[in-house]
Amino acid sequence: MDLARTTAAASREARAGTQNTARVPRPEQAIDARRRAAASKVAAVEKAIKALGRTGAPLTRMVVARLAGVSRSFTYENDVANRMITAAQAMSQVRADDRIETRTAHQEASWRERALNAVDEIATLVGSLPPSVGSSVTYWDNCESRMAPGLNRIGTVFAGKTSSFFPSGTSFYVNETNSNGDWTAHGRTSRV
Amino acid sequence: MLTGADYGYWKRQEQRWATLAEGAPDETARDYIYGAFEKSSQALAGLEKALLALGLLDQAKELDLRSPHQDFFDPIWRQGWRAGDLVDIGSGKEASENHEPLTNGPGKDNGSRES
């Protein structure tokens, strides 16, 4: 009985002892130092991200961590640093996509404009030729070795050739030697 | 702006200044010469660190500027760093060494992370 009472008292004391150790003051100085260290690391990460962004170098966690002098696990475990890196990566990705799309659009617009300008130019030139000089050459219709058979249109432009080298009403032969073999056509110019 | 292609030139300049400083007649002159080149040294250290992080340092060391055949689209030539950024990168201590030593016991392992 005595033994049981003694054991119970001992266990009570032990519990009280545990509670006493819990009353030890928190290591405020250590906590502050740790917070400051984390803040300085986050600042270093921010600087590294900015520098990388200006450079145009690939923005990876490894590079950011090395530049900032922090461990790579820090860039995952610290919420602020993690969010900053993720946002910067997303931003650079968006910027890259944007660049590509914009460039493609510019190029397409440029080609479209040039094609339209060329069509207008052809129409203007054909219209501006005086009737005495302008004569259409008829051999173009026979020129199937260079185009798909039966096709005499390229895009939207009619592939009629206008030439001023031959006076109207002249017969001529065109000889051409190419990889498809020799090709000869007889033509006659006529008035437009 | 500094690129990886500038690394070799500025490294040689740094060595030149160091030689000059070590050959100075007295301590004052020596410190003055080192002080005059200090910013450049920091930027160069930053450039070295940045190139190392990007895996370009060896290429930058081996780059032959006298060769007429250069690929100017290579990252060594294309990626330019601001000198100010490089000074920050080069002069900054390792962030994990930035905290002062602690006096109380439990905080000794004021670890490298806080999340």
Beta bridge partners of B104: none
Spans in chain B with pLDDT lower than 70: 92-115
pLDDT at A102: 75
Specify the DSSP element, H or E, that contains A185. strand A181-188
Task: Test A37 with B96 for CB contact under 8 angstroms.
Answer: yes
Q: Do B99 and A35 touch (CB under 8 A)?
A: no
pTM: predicted TM-score of the whole model, two decimal places: 0.55
* Integer Cα distance of B30 and B20 in angstroms: 8
Q: Say if B73 is an interface residue toward chain A (CB within 8 Å).
A: no
Whole-angstrom CA distances from A69 to A35, B48, B53, B96 are 17, 14, 10, 7
Residue B84 forms contact with A (CB below 8 Å): no
Q: How long a stretch of residues is chain A?
A: 192
List, in order, residues 6 or more apart from A160 with CB less than 8 Å away: A136, A140, A152
Note the ipTM here.
0.72
A1: pLDDT confidence band, cut at 50, 70 and 90?
Answer: very low
> Residue A114 above 50 pLDDT?
yes
Q: Work out the minimum CA distance from B7 to partner chain A, whole angstroms.
A: 16
Among the listed residues A112, A114, A121, A134, the one whose alpha carbon sits nearest the alpha carbon of residue A189:
A134
Could you tell me where the DSSP H helices lie in chain B? 7-22, 27-36, 38-54, 57-62, 75-78, 83-91
Weakest mean pLDDT among A14-28, A78-92, A166-180:
A166-180
Helices B27-36 and B38-54 pack at an angle, to 10 degrees, of 50
The band of A100, judged by pLDDT with boundaries at 50, 70 and 90, is confident
Q: Tokens 């130092």 sit at which residue?
A: A33
Contact between A72 and B103 under an 8 Å Cβ cutoff? The reply is no
